[in-house]
Structure 1
Amino acid sequence: MNQTFVYRKHLRAPFKSFVRIVMLIFLGIFIMTFGLIFTNHEKMNSYVPYVFGIVILIMFFCVLLEAGFFYHFLYKQFQSINITLTDEAIVYNTAKKQIIIPYEDIKKLAFPSIKYTGGWIKIVYKGGNIRLTVVLEHIGDFIYELKEKLDEREMSQVYNEKKLFSFFKTAVFADGSWERVYHNYKFQLAISYLSIIITTIIIRFFDHSNNSNYFIYVSILAPLLGYLFSEIIIGIKLNKQFITGELKLFPRYPIFEHKVFKISIMVFSIGYILILLVAVI
């Protein structure tokens, strides 16, 4: 049975969904900027709030225009890209053309990537090449299926087995990481916003130094560091689940992953707030 692969939904999303993402990010910038102004202990001129409002409005429209540019000239192309592994060939479709690559025409598989970070697979064939990034949905399954097709034709010479296995691990981790982002982003944003707000309140009423800017910036970093720490823990766990010598792994544990994510975010965020309280009181 032929299997078709597409890019992840955040790349295939319509423009209104893209704008929604931009607005959520901008809301964080707005809260942070408000916190920087609100924690300034010097007497504020009456016109400052109006200037602040105008600057934020201009920034929003500039970011929106930039987002529109990137969407139409970069992200929109992913909506129409899909790749199918048939019995005889790779079928690569874009909005403008279709490329059919018989497996016998494949000359080389290359894997420019950084382990557990990202990269792509480059399929070199007679007449050209195509590249597929780790943001391809279920790219681990794609790698496995492609290897099976090549091995059936005794074409293992077109890839380096060690590099292919290394990229497979990176691809599987990236695939799971995006799934976790989809599942957890609301919680991540809520904790990030809350971290900035609580920091702003503490600094406003308890801190009388000139270090408020640093505290506000760190209030954003704390939840982010918690997220990165959880990905490291999950990555270590995942590395033990791969079956040696095969492009297979034991089943994931989404409940465990979600628990690690939440605990890490909360520990780093609450830990930062406690350190802040000790520093200013």
Structure 2
Amino acid sequence: MIIAHSKQELEEIIAPLKEEGRTIGFVPTMGALHAGHLSLVDLARRHADKIIVSIFVNPTQFAPHEDFDAYPRDLEGDAAKLDTAGVDIVYAPRETDIYPDGKDITVKAGAMAKGLEGDFRPTHFDGVVTVVHRLFSQVQPDVAVFGEKDFQQLQVIKEMAAAERLSVEIVGGLIARDEHGLALSSRNAYLSAEELEIARKLNKILRHCAEEIARGRAVETATQEAENALLEAGFDKIDYVRFWQGRVLAAAFLGRTRLIDNIAA
């Protein structure tokens, strides 16, 4: 496995692959890798000859009050996991490789960014599509894989790729969960043992909500009942429980940790 620490190093590695006609599968990450990320690597491998994983904690998708500085960083540990997973290239760029002219937002998210996360993190998706667009231009992937846990983000990126007429296929990977159904997330590491027990109820409550909607229960009634159930379960604050694009999506806080999940209805 090769680790590229700069845009120039990456270009030197990719050039011969393109000349040979190799297809590139790309998995963008912010590091703090877990089994969910590795499942996306496995999915990418089914679509391409060579796999590139980026590790870059993107400052433009964090609001001032969010956890950019506290976000876990362990390049050595992450690289070891990716090497074991058979990744060909890790791209760990410097901030100046991605933002050479300062942290400007150069791509705006489209209609899919409205509501849900867009209401509570109004600048988030502009930062996401900006960094993804820049990574695409550097990595030049044929296929890029994103997890369905961030379901709205997946739709936002698909919309951006279509609007920008990018020649990359966007593929969604199923949500990886622990044995209790909790969606795997780097932020789960912030949870205490007591909070972890509460967090594992999120999936069950959303699944019940989705089943109720599928049976014909009114969406507003089902989602309000799910919000109430989350508060009763011990969640401290609910940003939303919504039915959108055929799924029930939720964002809820345990202490300062914000968890998201979604279930198809």
Q: TM-score range by the shorter chain?
A: under 0.3
In our comparison, the structure showing a higher alpha carbon Rg is 1
Looking at secondary structure, tell me which structure has more helix per residue: 1
Looking at secondary structure, tell me which structure has more strand per residue: 2
